[in-house]
Amino acid sequence: MKPEIRELSTDAKRKEKIKNKATSQPRNRKVLDYANTHRKIVEQCQAGNRQAQFELYRQYSKAMYNVCLRMVRDELEAEDLLQNSFVDVFTKLHTFRFQSSVGAWIKRIVINNCINFLKRKKMYFEELEDGIISSIEPDTVVHDLPSGLSLEVVRRALFKLPDGYRVVFSLYMLEGYDHKEIAGILSISEATSKSQYSRAKRKLRAIIESQKQVSNY
């Protein structure tokens, strides 16, 4: 009987260990729920709470200003776009359904406003036929930018790019959109988006290398 009792005891301990591990994992693992980020603040904003609106603005205004500045490269215009975008945010916030993070939703409004602003300024893209896309693909895998660069160096170089190059580069590299999404946002072909990104990256590298040479003198 003793061996049998010992075997049952060991099996029970094993099951208990597995159970404890399963129940302890959710407590130890940080679960990311982006859709519900700042949900309480957003719901208070939707109810018309002015303090909550100020808090939502405080949480996102700096990051959204940087988005505007990268897109339009003018501080005053970026500030105007930021303020106008948050007017849109609070006007449309009742339509937000927590299907994405509120930050992503705000950023899309900001980017759309920046794009509309640049389109009014006749932002230019060199359109390409879709059939040329195969000749563009290799160019999209250009050499990485020089390592060890400060954000300020990249920012200054980015501001020297033509609007079309800068916007596509910013959307793809800094804002996380893919070329299909960029094509839809800018009303251009995917081939054009890939070409603009490829050329922007090569030109950005050339600008940075030129700045380094000047600073060495």
- Greatest mean pLDDT among 67-71, 79-83, 155-159, 208-212 lies in 79-83
pTM (2 decimals)? 0.70
Q: Give yes or no for residue 7 having a pLDDT over 50.
A: no
Same domain, 102 and 139: no
> Of 120, 145, 176, at which residue does a domain stop?
120
**Per-residue pLDDT tens digits for 170-205:** 999 888 899 999 999 888 999 999 999 999 999 998
Q: How many CB atoms lie within 10 A of CB 213?
A: 9
CATH number at residue 94: 1.10.1740.10
CA 147 to chain CA mean position, Å: 22
Q: Would you state the pLDDT for residue 213?
A: 66
Which candidate, 111, 130, 118, 124, places its Cα nearest to that of 171?
111
* Residue that wins the pLDDT comparison between 36 and 107: 107
**Pair of tokens at residue 100:** 């994405």
Domain count along the chain: 2
Q: Give yes or no for residue 146 having a pLDDT over 80.
A: no
Same domain, 69 and 98: yes
Mean pLDDT of 127-147: 43
Q: How confident is the model at residue 142 (pLDDT cuts 50, 70, 90)?
A: very low
Same domain, 107 and 52: yes
Same domain, 116 and 143: no
The answer to the question of residue 13 being in a domain is: no
Q: Would you state the pLDDT for residue 18?
A: 46
Same domain, 141 and 92: no
The answer to the question of residue 28 being in a domain is: no
The answer to the question of residue 38 being in a domain is: yes
Structural domain including 209 reads: 130-216
Same domain, 148 and 201: yes
Mean pLDDT of 64-80: 94
Over the chain, what is the mean pLDDT? 78
Element (H, E) at 102: helix 102-120
CATH number at residue 188: 1.10.10.10
Low-confidence winner among 21-35, 70-84, 175-189 (lowest mean pLDDT): 21-35
Report how far residue 23's alpha carbon sits from residue 46's, in angstroms, rounded to the nearest whole number: 36
The answer to the question of residue 26 being in a domain is: no
* Residue that wins the pLDDT comparison between 50 and 22: 50
Same domain, 111 and 149: no
Mean pLDDT of 35-62: 93
Q: Give yes or no for residue 105 having a pLDDT over 80.
A: yes
Tokens 């660069």 sit on residue: 149
Which candidate, 37, 40, 44, 149, places its Cα nearest to that of 90?
44
